[in-house]
Amino acid sequence: MWSFWALPMNALDATLEIVTSSTKLPFIVVEHVVDDSEYGQKILTHLVGDLKVSNHFQVEKGENVKDKDLDFQVYKDKKVDLVARVSASKKNGTIVGYLALYDVHSGKKVLEKEYTQPTLKHYPFVAHEMCIGINAYVQAPSIDWMRELVVLSKYTTSGSSVIVLADYTLSFEQDIIQGGLNIFPKWGNKEKSIIYFTRYIDNKPTILRYQISTNTAEVLLQSDGMAVVSDVSNDGQKLLLTLTPTKSAADVYLYEVPTKNLKRLTTFSGIDVGGKFINNEKDVAFVSDRLGYPNVFATNLDGGNVEQLVFHGRNNSAVASYDKYIVYASRESNNEFGLNTFNLYLIATNSDFIRRLTEKGSNQMPTFSKDGKNIMYIKNTQTQSALGIIRLDYNSSYFFPLPQAKIQSYDW
């Protein structure tokens, strides 16, 4: 009934053209089955938002209804394709969401499922899972990224920050690491059970490895001026670090987790930071000022020759990677007293083509989703930060603010 197609990013080097098309987007109405829980309406609101973000549906928020059979003809007359009815209940501190999905054309209930989350404040994930299930029914491209946790550091007071787990809309937040200045969190494995982060200990930046399940942290290593985990290999066995040893400028290092072996990859007298694995983890992209201004370069894991990757702009930073694809932030203003303009650009290492992703504002710290189809980034204002999501195949963007707080850094 519905036809979706998306040319894979590696099928052409138009890094980057908008390659998704749909002959007909299904029209879905989402209704709330009246219940005794205030969470039913909250889940409905989030589900409507998720369906819109997916770019796979025409979405309408329906009325409160009683749990009874549908009059399919009423919906047919309105050209509706699908009807989703949701409700929720609280059970021993958990939240349970109920979804019934009806296909108007077949006149049948095609999906009925319960979704349970461990605490009431996890209710946004009920909506995310419902959306993933509805999306799968129409066989649209995967949106499994919606269920992924975000880890972020946000400032609380001067010289203090907390590391938080969140969903992509920032509707769910859970503080996990507090006390002092806790910055630069980075997921340590695919399972998202380990977090690397930086904390000042004895006035030295120190990288710690935090185990979520046991709420324990162990020291990895220290450095004098800078100590940050900038990337983690897919198997979690290798880390790219930015370190500033005594009487040395910042350089990129490779750290092997099982052996604790540390290898210096760059040796420039200036600043080399923010290493990211590229080209199936054979090479490393990083930011350097070796041209007299920040720009993006690459080297291999043997620390061999360095080559320039980006030839656009004269102040390029905050690089992120997905295989051969690189997104970076480029400063495009020089405001001494206010926020500068930073825009995001997408390139491929085997192409000269550049795709501009943002047009205005302060857009920084881009990160790819696991499937490479989306980019998350921070949009800053004078008083707060927002997480932005760019749906690459659809050329659409969405913003989720963190009221009255500034995000220091994050990982997805």
- With a CB cutoff of 8 Å and minimum separation 6, the contacts of 207 are 196, 197, 198, 219, 220, 221, 222, 227, 228, 229, 241
> Of 86, 115, 145, which marks where a domain is finished?
145
Q: Which two tokens stand for residue 124?
A: 């946004």
Say whether both 158 and 84 belong to one domain. no
- 202 and 90 share a domain? no
**What residues have CB less than 8 Å from 203, skipping those under 6 apart?**
none
Amino acid, single-letter form, for residue 367: T
**CA separation (Å) from 106 to 76, 91, 110, 362?**
11, 34, 9, 48
Please give the structure tokens belonging to residue 383. Answer: 């008083």
Total domains present in the chain: 2
- What range defines the domain where residue 396 resides? 149-411
Residue with tokens 């195949």: 393
Written as tens digits, the pLDDT of the chain (412 aa) is 665 544 444 433 334 444 445 468 999 999 999 877 789 999 999 999 999 999 999 999 998 898 778 999 999 999 999 999 999 999 999 999 999 999 999 999 999 999 999 999 999 999 999 999 999 999 999 999 999 999 999 999 888 999 999 999 999 999 999 999 999 999 999 999 999 999 999 989 999 999 999 999 999 999 988 999 999 999 999 999 999 987 788 999 999 999 999 999 998 888 999 999 999 999 999 999 999 999 999 999 987 899 999 988 878 988 999 988 999 999 888 776 667 888 999 998 888 888 999 988 889 999 999 999 999 999 987 777 889 999 999 999 999 998 878 899 999 9
Instruction: Return the structure tokens found at 75.
Output: 């919906």
Q: Are 240 and 277 in contact (CB under 8 A)?
A: yes
Residue 17 lies in a domain: no
Compute the Cα dihedral for 243, 247, 300, 295 and give only its sign: positive
Residues 166 and 296 in one domain: yes
Residue with tokens 């009815």, as numbered in its chain: 85
Residue 67 sits in the same domain as residue 96: yes
Indicate whether 56 and 155 sit together in one domain: no
CA–CA separation, 88 and 353 (whole Å): 48
**222 close to 205: Cβ distance less than 8 angstroms:** yes
Residues 70 and 197 in one domain: no
Q: Are 282 and 262 in contact (CB under 8 A)?
A: no
Residue 217 lies in a domain: yes
